[in-house]
Amino acid sequence: MMAPPIVLLKDGTENKQGKSQIVSNINACCLVADSIRTTLGPRGLDKLIVNSKGETTISNDGATILKLLDIVYPAASVMVDIAKSQDCEVGDGTTSVVVLAAEMMKRAKPFIEDGVHPQLLIRAFGKACDEAIKKLDSLAVKVEGTEAQREMLVKCAATTLSSKLVSQERAHFAEMVVDAVNILADDLPLKMIGIKKVGGGSLLESHLVRGIAFKKAFSYAGFEMQPKKYANPKIAILNIELELKAEKDNAQMRIKNVADYQAVVDAEWNILYDKLQKIHDSGAKIVLSKLPVGDVATQWFADRDMFCAGRIPEDDLDRIVGACGGSILTTVSQIDESLLGSCDTFSEKQVGSERFNFFEGCKKAEACTLLLRGGADQFIAETERSLHDAIMIVRRAKKNDSVVAGGGAIEMELSTHLRAEARKLLGKEQFFWMAYARAFEIIPQQLCYNAGIDATDVLNKLRHRHAKGEIWAGINIHKEIVMNNYEAFVWEPSLVKKNAITAATEAVCLVLSIDQTVKNPRTQSGGMMPGMPQQM
């Protein structure tokens, strides 16, 4: 008699397992990489992504694109995660990491199909990765001396920017970014660099403000009478509302006669005047508050030749403290000099079609602002993202001052080295190492494809040159020739590559180690998710 089948999972559960599951996961990950591979490198193309609300984004940044793509295939989300983690850890190399991971998976696929146990591949890839990192560390060139370091930072920033929309003006922006990061305090807090976007004007009008600039806040009528320029002002930075508060909002009052009512109203006014007087007495010329500053206060300050602005965004206020010193006050009862900020000049200027307040020559000077100009909104937005990458790279390079040559140079050298190491191994492991080593060639290959250069020819030249011992031979996309990219100053922080290699290898090992996906029907609303390949 046949035993009845044991039903383990609920009806409707999708349960795929085994070799074919690993293969289809690999296929899905490669599809993700295919969607961004054409953006790699200086001649990489951009993607235009429209979301469900009709908002458009033009970007060349792997992490940005993948975040917007909304990928639903379970295993493929690992690709999005490595791009994101690369973005957080080092800020650049997000496309490279995804392309590299996909290539490693592609190289592993034939082995899986032939029935090799995934664990063998995982172990071999792990060891090969350690070897690659060791080699990378030994190749990285340390840059010493302040002058040389600045040069190095500018070059790293320029390399990052060369693959962006703003690549034509990369020299301008690279200097700007390095100056901005050099202003920061030792721990290089990212949020102390404000980025303000003002539409109109040319890209080259973008500049660094060594101080703080922000858009004139909402203001009342009295504002127009306020002076717009001060030398050496003291600045009170508040988290206090300077508005007439009708106490009837806060409490219930029972008043029997007009005199009592008048007393209440007078008291309300006096509370406000008292605050204003205290601020005035402290010697502050400029009053900034996170909370609203009402028309009475504005007029009162204007009468006393003071400037005020309310509803200032918190990050702007933090930067003011970073640049001008002082602290954010929550009470006006005891304001002494040390709590006030100061700067050399305060002024209000027109930038494009907007009015901006500028604080320059700040005493503490650990914050700054990048004012970005340019035509279309999407263009400025992409400029901002590009500068973010460059800022991250400069921060990283400043802390970890060793560099390697880009344009596929470092990848080819690692590939050559791993191949040599592989030859020392016996048995199947040798094939796995070879496969891993070959995966690195995708970077120069893709750079060539994207630039319309003959990739096969370039790869041959690169292999040849690396075999001869030219460690920095790479493809220079601007000159379209194979050359010493170290001398051509295509420099990248070694940390970017290190992180990319480890993250990509981890992703591959993770995908190889998944041999079963169980989809629970309860947690899912509509059965098959859109965009999911039919054969799982």
Interface residues toward ligand ADP, by CB under 6 A = 39-42, 44, 60-62, 92-96, 159, 162-163, 406-407, 443, 447, 475-478, 490, 492
Q: Which of 348, 347, 349, 345 is nearest to 361 (CA)?
A: 345
Query: Residue 44 or 325: which CB sits closer to Mg ion?
Result: 44
Cβ burial, residue 187 (10 Å; 0-12/13-18/19+): exposed
Region near Mg ion per CB under 5 A, out of 92-100, 192-200, 232-240, 481-489: 92-100
Cα-Cα-Cα-Cα torsion 489, 492, 494, 496, nearest 10 degrees, comes to: -170
C-beta separation of 47 from 59 below 8 A: yes
Task: Supply the minimum distance, in Å, between the C-beta of residue 210 and Mg ion.
Answer: 27
Whole-angstrom Cα distance, residue 143 to residue 257?
Answer: 80
Query: Residue 85 or 345: which CB sits closer to ligand ADP?
Result: 85
From start to end of 260-395, where are the E strands?
Answer: 286-289, 307-309, 328-329, 341-351, 354-362, 368-374
213 in helix, strand or coil? strand
Query: Residue 133 or 532: which CB sits closer to ligand ADP?
Result: 133
Task: Supply the minimum distance, in Å, between the C-beta of residue 437 and ligand ADP.
Answer: 17
C-beta separation of 236 from 340 below 8 A: yes
**316 touching Mg ion, by CB under 5 A:** no
Q: What is the DSSP letter of 293?
A: B
Q: Which of 403, 212, 485, 163 is nearest to 325 (CA)?
A: 212
Task: Supply the minimum distance, in Å, between the C-beta of residue 158 and Mg ion.
Answer: 11
Instruction: Select the residue interacting with Mg ion from 87, 89, 92, 316 (CB under 5 A).
Output: 92
Task: Supply the minimum distance, in Å, between the C-beta of residue 206 and ligand ADP.
Answer: 20
Query: Residue 103 or 492: which CB sits closer to Mg ion?
Result: 492
Helices 409-423 & 494-513 angle (0-180, nearest 10): 50
Whole-angstrom Cα distance, residue 3 to residue 6?
Answer: 9
Which residue has its beta carbon closest to Mg ion? 92
Which partner from the list Mg ion, ligand ADP, none does 94 bind, CB cut-off 5 to 8 Å by kind? Answer: ligand ADP
Which residue has its beta carbon closest to ligand ADP? 406
Which partner from the list ligand ADP, Mg ion, none does 444 bind, CB cut-off 5 to 8 Å by kind? Answer: none
Task: Supply the minimum distance, in Å, between the C-beta of residue 163 and ligand ADP.
Answer: 3
**87 touching Mg ion, by CB under 5 A:** no
Task: Supply the minimum distance, in Å, between the C-beta of residue 92 and Mg ion.
Answer: 4
Whole-angstrom Cα distance, residue 320 to residue 341?
Answer: 8
Region near Mg ion per CB under 5 A, out of 20-28, 161-169, 269-277, 494-502: 161-169
Strands 481-484 and 328-329 come out as unpaired
Task: Supply the minimum distance, in Å, between the C-beta of residue 402 and ligand ADP.
Answer: 15
Which partner from the list Mg ion, ligand ADP, none does 132 bind, CB cut-off 5 to 8 Å by kind? Answer: none
**401 touching Mg ion, by CB under 5 A:** no
Residues that bind Mg ion in the complex, under the rule CB under 5 A: 92, 160, 163
